[in-house]
A and B are shown apart, each in its own frame.
Chain A
Amino acid sequence: MKPAHGVWALILFLIIAHQDIWFWDDTTLVFGFLPVALAYHACISLAAAFTWYLATRFCWPSDQAPSAQGRDTA
């Protein structure tokens, strides 16, 4: 399997994992202060950042070189 296919599979997994019906009525407070519904979805955000990092490495849609026309800013 090509790395790009793995990344797209990971993105699909994230979308499925986002539908966490298993935590729907769970009142657990993670670390005593973070409701589990919130903690789980904060972890989804972290996982999304990592997945998108992989996507920029293995699924980059452009082969354009940086342009020299605009003046560089930050």
Chain B
Amino acid sequence: MDEVVRIGIAEYAVSQKPIILRTAGLGSCVGVIIYDQERGLSSMAHVMLPDSAISRNVALEIGKFADTAVVELARRLRHSGAIRLRAKIAGGAQMFQFKYEHESMRIGERNIAAVKLALRKANVPLVAEDVGGTNGRTIEFHSTTGRLVIRTVNVGTLEI
């Protein structure tokens, strides 16, 4: 069994060895996995918001925003010798069905769109996704197989 690295909300990790990357309790946040399976390189971020423009100290919050997280993961993997990067994403749910209008209402959708845009800009093909809906997700990426296991408390487990 490979070592499990836990990634907290708004955090990220990059690995050059066989590993299991795990992040728990994704709601409107999006879990982004970028990897090069042939070269054993993998990374994951727990993205909370679409755009780092609102940040006052981006250096402290790289993993928090779709734009900065994707750029950083791709940059670090390529720096370590990645050639054929692929991405998988999961999350972006709407946890609360609000009866009133509020900006955070559609944050899940906006996160998904922002992550996809950032992946396109970084030239990383998206090969699998499990996004949207109304359920929280815990995800586990197995770097040796490239499998992403997605667990929910209300609708069971899925693998992409």
Report if A and B associate in a common complex: no
Chain A: residues with CB nearer than 8 A to chain B?
none
